[in-house]
Amino acid sequence: MSSNRPSTANSWFMLLLAGVFEIGYALAVGGSHGFTRLTWSLVAVVFFLLTLWALSVGLRTIDVGTGYAVWAGIGAAGAAALGPVFFDESLTLAQSGWLGLIIAGVVWLKLADRMRGAGERAAA
């Protein structure tokens, strides 16, 4: 393994971090009201750069399709769950259920990647 290439565990950590930054970005964009509020707008730009950086590091050893789905799922579910906390948004029981399904999908993608990695090591 090249020293420039992170381990799979580190890549998953970076992908999780990218998802957290994506939540921050989404919430800051909402708070910026179309980038008309300077503080929220600056926070959005910072989170945008952080999420792109962390995502690019995470995708060094994780397939793009899997990584992007996980990143988007974390961002979407997190923003939907935290929107009512920070803004005047609602979250119904049905929406909560569908968000739970997204989170379950993220977990299963991670488990599938782990099983694939174990299979590749066994075949080698």
How far out from the chain centre does Cα 101 lie? 15
| Contact present, 106 and 12 (Cβ < 8 Å) | no
The model's pLDDT over 3-42, given as tens digits with 9 standing for 90+, comes to 566 688 899 999 999 999 999 999 999 999 999 999 999 9
Q: What are the residue boundaries of the structural domains of the chain, listed by start? A: 8-119
pTM of the model: 0.81
